[in-house]
Structure 1
Amino acid sequence: MALRTLGKFCAQSMSHYLRTPWGAGITLSRLSTLVQPDIAQETLAESDTVHSGAVYQPRLLDPLKHPDYFRVHELFTIRDLFDARVHLGHKEGSLDNRMRPFIFGSRLGHLVFDLDITGYHLRQALNFIAHTAFNDGLVLFVVRTHEVLARRYLHEREQAVVGAQNAQLVQQTAKECGEFAHTRFWRGGIFTNANKQLGVSTRLPDLCIFLSTLNTILTQHVAVRDSAKMCIPTVGIVDSNCNPNLITYPVPGNDDTPCAVELYCRLFKAAILRGKEERKRVLEEQAKEQATVQ
């Protein structure tokens, strides 16, 4: 009798299971780590509720469960990248083979970046920057010193002037968003030997943003290598003559033109400010909830 009852129960359970659609209750968009701008915020917020009796109470959303929680896809368009000359690369002979997947083609002997690929990687980088700021991370802006380059190559004095302007722009950007910048000569061991050079209680940055990953025409910035050694995440603008392998979030694009650097700084600052504003809002809501409970 017991075996017959058990068999009937198993048959009913199996029939109910077969009638249930596969993956019921699972939203693929919430499991994806790719940027999906077409997902409505209201749809994502529907599942972020807590059922208490007969009343549904909203709870704080988890940014990591959303593909684009900070809406960074709204910060720029492909047209903005084109107007800022982000698509312009170096001459064909200076191409690094590791940058070949990001190249659309060449025109008049100069390489041209695929802006669709650049936009995808830039959105990924902005999303990570916003998450770092949201979690109270320390961000360090790093830009190469064109003065050193000009001393070695006298015909590039004009580029040294542009480099000085870029350094001032990066410093101003870091100041406006409450972060830090390093625009001078980089001493080796600042990260790897920080206890001896800077002191025992030295906090290393949680994220390094490189406006250029090369210190000279052929030499990679020492901070890129040191960041990789210390497992510090990096976001870097990689030109057609750069090596993107050591950069956590490489953004293929022009790193020389002032209007392109200005666009990068504006986008990075906007992502940081969005993360900080969201963190402030969440902390205020948590404080109100604690005050209500007490």
Structure 2
Amino acid sequence: MQVTMRQMLEAGVHFGHQTRFWNPKMAPYIFGHRNKIHIVNLEKTVVMFNDALKEVRKISAKKGNILFVATKRQAREIIREEAMRAGSPFVDHRWLGGMLTNFKTVQLSIKRLKELEAMIEDGSIEKVSKKEGLVLRRELEKLERSLGGIKDMQGLPSAIFVIDVGYQKGTVTEAQKLGIPVIGVVDTNHSPLGVDYIIPGNDDSSQAIRLYARGVADAILEGREQALNDLTEQVAEKAA
């Protein structure tokens, strides 16, 4: 499914930041300005976003996984919801340095998270002292908040989808080091450098954030469905 310019207009994707905060590297994607606010050229955004979604479908059809990342307040809940709907990993609380570049260490923390979850599930946490139980529950809460969204991620992601590349600069830098493609929403006050699939547009409006996240989640589901259909056809051909 493609996203239309009308949907983008309704979501306020075209409203950039105040002109005095602009990043000149975003000049090719700016249409003009109104009341000291930059206006994003949606004719470019609609093409670039749909190109990004095409890549997401392709990755998903090949059984790749897309990591959703948005830790700023107005994006957290939306990102979590859409990533979960697509059965994708996500980071919605705080980006911990080394989450990608030091993934082996992160996996040890995930292992600990799963151990604590198992203790609660099988009731063994009740066998320790009340004080120790409280400490363990707090540890679990902290780990769940930081790593809960990636606890089922077996290895590094095939690509990363980021809302607000300025806010998630650490994420983009780590992905670049590892050669992981970045699909990123870039507002007029940030640099698009390091982003492989640029989506020029508003990164603050919850409506715009919902549009981007829903589009990516839909593309992931469509890619999986396509792979399943292809497999069914292959099986049918062999049986014929």
For normalisation by structure 2, the TM-score amounts to: 0.78
Tell whether the 8 Å contact from 1:195 to 1:202 is kept in structure 2 after alignment.
no
**2:99 is aligned with 1:190:** yes
Task: Supply the distance in 1 between the matched residues of 2:28 and 2:201 (Cα, whole angstroms).
Answer: 12
Matching of residues 115-134 of structure 1 within 5 Å: 115-134=42-61
Q: Which residue of 2 aligns with 1:16?
A: none
Deviation at 1:240, TM superposition (A): 0.5
Amino acid in structure 2 at the alignment position of 1:212: D
Percentage of matched positions with identical amino acids: 30
Moved more, 176-185 or 191-200: 191-200
Q: Which residue of 2 aligns with 1:82?
A: 9
**2:204 is aligned with 1:252:** no
Provide Cα deviations, 1:55-83, integer angstroms capped at 9, x if missing partner: xxxxxxxxxxxxxxxxx4xx222111111
Q: Which residue of 2 aligns with 1:274?
A: 222
Deviation at 1:109, TM superposition (A): 0.6
3-state SS of the aligned residue for 2:173?
helix
For normalisation by structure 1, the TM-score amounts to: 0.64
Task: Supply the distance in 2 between the matched residues of 1:265 and 1:104 (Cα, whole angstroms).
Answer: 24
5+ residue gaps, structure 1, are: 1-71, 147-162
Tell whether the 8 Å contact from 1:134 to 1:279 is kept in structure 2 after alignment.
yes
Higher RCO (CA < 8 A, seq sep 6+): 2
3-state SS of the aligned residue for 1:111?
strand
Q: Which residue of 1 aligns with 2:166?
A: 214
Structure showing the higher helix proportion among its residues: 2
Q: Which residue of 2 aligns with 1:234?
A: 182
**2:156 is aligned with 1:204:** yes
Amino acid in structure 1 at the alignment position of 2:79: V
Tell whether the 8 Å contact from 1:144 to 1:221 is kept in structure 2 after alignment.
no
Provide Cα deviations, 1:125-177, integer angstroms capped at 9, x if missing partner: 0110110111110111000334xxxxxxxxxxxxxxxx2xx211111111111
Matching of residues 132-211 of structure 1 within 5 Å: 132-146=59-73, 163=74, 166-199=75-108, 202-211=154-163
Q: Which residue of 1 aligns with 2:123?
A: none
Provide Cα deviations, 1:33-56, integer angstroms capped at 9, x if missing partner: xxxxxxxxxxxxxxxxxxxxxxxx
Provide Cα deviations, 1:204-233, integer angstroms capped at 9, x if missing partner: 000100022122xxxx52111000000001
Q: Which residue of 2 aligns with 1:34?
A: none
Task: Supply the distance in 2 between the matched residues of 1:144 and 1:211 (Cα, whole angstroms).
Answer: 9
| RMSD, aligned CA | 1.7
Aligned residues: 197
**2:234 is aligned with 1:286:** yes
Deviation at 1:242, TM superposition (A): 1.1
Tell whether the 8 Å contact from 1:144 to 1:184 is kept in structure 2 after alignment.
yes
Out of 8, 11, 25, which is 1:98 matched to?
25
5+ residue gaps, structure 2, are: 112-152
Q: Which residue of 1 aligns with 2:128?
A: none
Deviation at 1:114, TM superposition (A): 0.5
Deviation at 1:291, TM superposition (A): 3.4
Tell whether the 8 Å contact from 1:194 to 1:202 is kept in structure 2 after alignment.
no
Task: Supply the distance in 1 between the matched residues of 2:236 and 2:39 (Cα, whole angstroms).
Answer: 52
Task: Supply the distance in 2 between the matched residues of 1:272 and 1:214 (Cα, whole angstroms).
Answer: 25
Deviation at 1:290, TM superposition (A): 3.0
3-state SS of the aligned residue for 1:195?
helix
Tell whether the 8 Å contact from 2:3 to 2:50 is kept in structure 1 after alignment.
no
3-state SS of the aligned residue for 1:105?
strand
